[in-house]
Structure 1
Amino acid sequence: MSLVPSLIRFDLRTSPSNAAVLLDGEFVGETPLNIKIKPLHHYEVTLKRAGYAAIKKSIDAEVGQNIVKNYDLEQNLHTISQSSSPVATVSLNGSPVGVTPSEIRVSEGDRLVLRSEGYAEEGFTVAASHLDEKKNHIVLIKKERKAFVDAPEQKTIAGVKLRRLEGADNFSTAMQGVSPGTFKIPDLYVSETEVTVGAYSSFLGKKGKSLDASHPITGVRWEDAVRFCNWLSQKEGLQPFYRFDSVDGIEIGSTDSKGAGYRLPTLVEWLFLVTDGKGLDDAPYVGGMDPKRLPRGIGNLAGRERAAERGFYFQDYKDEYLEMAPVKSFRPSGFGVFDLVGNAREWLHNTAGPSDNYFGSGMGMEHLVVGSSYMSGKAADLKSAEISKELFSAEDIGFRVVRVIR
């Protein structure tokens, strides 16, 4: 009968810790490490940590003798040339090291942070690619532009596909039918299409598929549209823009200016969208909307296909849809937004009272409705700023959503 010697304890520590430990080429954990090993054996120990030189050691395990080892890891330092636009202060692992441009001694895994007044802080973890290049240049972004630059170009929330849209500092509304003014348009997410039946059904909690799920939802009240906006905000964890309070049993609506959530577009934003930011009179997508020379595929309007129906129609235009069309059936605007011409008219955030305020007067029961629909067959319907005032829903009124990128 042969006796087997008891396992011994191997206690291994490094400074800094979290070094990978390989025993005879096999990973056994990270430091600090306390394991049991067989005695009467020769071991090859390798220690590795990003940014530090690897350590290789040999140990002989004896019967009854526990092993305790401590090693100091040495940094693999490299010199990189760090520059920036504009000039910025640089900190390395939280400590100031100078101002750009400068030569900095770093190792893989170090953290560099650049700061300049009025600009968003920019930081990065030093990777092998930085060490190989030896030169690194960073263009800092103005604080007010940071959110826009970091925002994805496209995203989908609860079936609503959104497109990132860069705002404008001086957008003019000097167009026919609109009070002249110059406005700052914020950076926005805007729904690429009018909200669909499918997305609205999710809001209502309806299950199952609908044959018209890809059509715009229409026949909804303004209050229903803004409730959808609040629901969408909650889906994304945003503070709702609209508030509803009950006073003596009567529901009163208001807005929260600090709310970062979704809302209906304002009139100014609609004009910005429909004119591709150019502010040109009567020019959605193109250089004009002559009813006798409507561009083919401009939108779902009342063309010759509705000749048998009662009402006005464009004799020199025809599309393939007698009624509502699925969204994206027609070409998009220069901004990549669909159905700004035809298909469904759209609710706006603004009430109908006169105002030169970006969000409208905030007074009155009626709200503005803009655009044209599949029922539009008159020249006046093609105005970029074709505006009506509505209190109730209609079979050709839908809506789209926007939110400010912050």
Structure 2
Amino acid sequence: MDTSPEPEMTDVPPGRVILSDRRTRRTWAVEVAACRIGAHPVTRDLYARVAGPLPDIAGGDRLPVEGVSWWDAVRFCNALSLRAGLTPAYDLRPDEEAVAWDTSADGYRLPTEAEWEHACRAGTDGPRYGPLDDIAWYRDNSGERLHEVGGRLPNPWGLHDMLGNVWEWCWDLYDSDVYGTYRVLRGGGWFDEHWSCRASVRRRSHPTFRVDDVGFRLARTVS
């Protein structure tokens, strides 16, 4: 087994992003620091080499891993960090009811939703960074199945599959006053209609939720 897998990461410059929520009709601005973001979602191959294969999922090493919960994703980030000799970003509590993020850690982590949207837009200001059929696998062109990462055109910063293929877990709580511990999902998936595959679309789910169109992408803080 490879003891030091190195995912492909891309430098994302600092910037400012305007987030929005359709339910509350609220918008808010976030300043985003420079960071590193995975060039594509975590693959089945990388996930299996670090965390072991997922039950009932075989083959397709370059397919994005899916059927992973938010908790699976943060545990994976810590495991990958330790194997790479980096400081884990998360303090995971034994009862799995709480997690603290060490923002000074250099290890792998989930992007915040502001980082995710900033990286997705890559300096563009429309709903998408290109024609949807060119950049994303979604219901109209996916054949209702997953596809290997990197098969569609990247955004201007070299990031693939920011829209379509799999939804991606982000660090943030969705709206703790209304939804408690539910976490943010971004990007749209292979079974979604075109309106779900937009840079601004937010979805939510319980952190233990697992389904076949949800995966995740890595991030790292840069000093």
User: Shared fold (TM-score greater than 0.5)?
Assistant: yes
Residue 285 (structure 1) aligned to one of 96, 119, 129: 129
Equivalents in 1 of 2:216, 2:132: separation in Å? 24
1:18-57 matches, cutoff 5 A: none
Residue 185 (str. 1) matches residue 32 (str. 2): yes
Equivalents in 2 of 1:187, 1:273: separation in Å? 10
Judge conservation of contact 2:105–2:221 (CA < 8 Å) in 1. no
Aligned match of 1:172: 17
Which structure 2 residue ranges, 5 or more long, are not aligned?
Answer: none
Judge conservation of contact 2:173–2:181 (CA < 8 Å) in 1. yes
Residue aligned with 1:389, SS: strand
Equivalents in 1 of 2:96, 2:200: separation in Å? 34
Residue aligned with 1:160, SS: coil
1:133-212 matches, cutoff 5 A: 158-168=5-15, 171-173=16-18, 175=20, 177=22, 179-205=26-52, 211-212=59-60
Residue aligned with 2:109, SS: coil
Judge conservation of contact 1:173–1:179 (CA < 8 Å) in 2. no
Residue 397 (str. 1) matches residue 182 (str. 2): no
- Write the letter of the residue equivalent to 2:107: G
Aligned residue pairs total 211
Residue 256 (structure 1) aligned to one of 91, 94, 102: 102
Aligned match of 1:151: none
Equivalents in 2 of 1:340, 1:172: separation in Å? 16
Residue 227 (str. 1) matches residue 75 (str. 2): yes
Judge conservation of contact 1:214–1:327 (CA < 8 Å) in 2. yes
Equivalents in 2 of 1:172, 1:159: separation in Å? 29
Judge conservation of contact 2:14–2:35 (CA < 8 Å) in 1. yes
Summarize deviations over 1:197-254 as a string: whole Å, max 9, x none.
0000011245xxx6311000000010010111111211222211111123xx665322
Summarize deviations over 1:160-190 as a string: whole Å, max 9, x none.
111122222xx13055647433332222111
Q: Counting strand residues as a fraction of each chain, which structure ranks higher?
A: 1
Aligned match of 1:32: none
- Write the letter of the residue equivalent to 1:302: R
Larger RCO (CA under 8 A, 6+ residues apart): 2
Residue aligned with 2:40, SS: coil
Calculate the TM-score normalised by the size of structure 2. 0.85
Calculate the TM-score normalised by the size of structure 1. 0.48
Alignment RMSD, CA only?
Answer: 2.3
Judge conservation of contact 1:159–1:198 (CA < 8 Å) in 2. no
Equivalents in 2 of 1:175, 1:275: separation in Å? 14
Judge conservation of contact 1:176–1:281 (CA < 8 Å) in 2. no
Equivalents in 1 of 2:176, 2:182: separation in Å? 12
Residue aligned with 2:169, SS: strand
Aligned match of 1:216: 64
Residue 267 (str. 1) matches residue 113 (str. 2): yes
Equivalents in 2 of 1:256, 1:188: separation in Å? 15
Tell me the CA shift for residue 260 of structure 1: 2.3
Summarize deviations over 1:107-138 as a string: whole Å, max 9, x none.
xxxxxxxxxxxxxxxxxxxxxxxxxxxxxxxx
Question: Taking structure 1 as reference, are residues 297 and 175 closer, same or farther at Cα in structure 2, changes over 3 Å only?
Answer: same
Judge conservation of contact 2:19–2:200 (CA < 8 Å) in 1. no
Residue 300 (str. 1) matches residue 170 (str. 2): no
Judge conservation of contact 1:346–1:370 (CA < 8 Å) in 2. yes
Judge conservation of contact 2:20–2:28 (CA < 8 Å) in 1. no
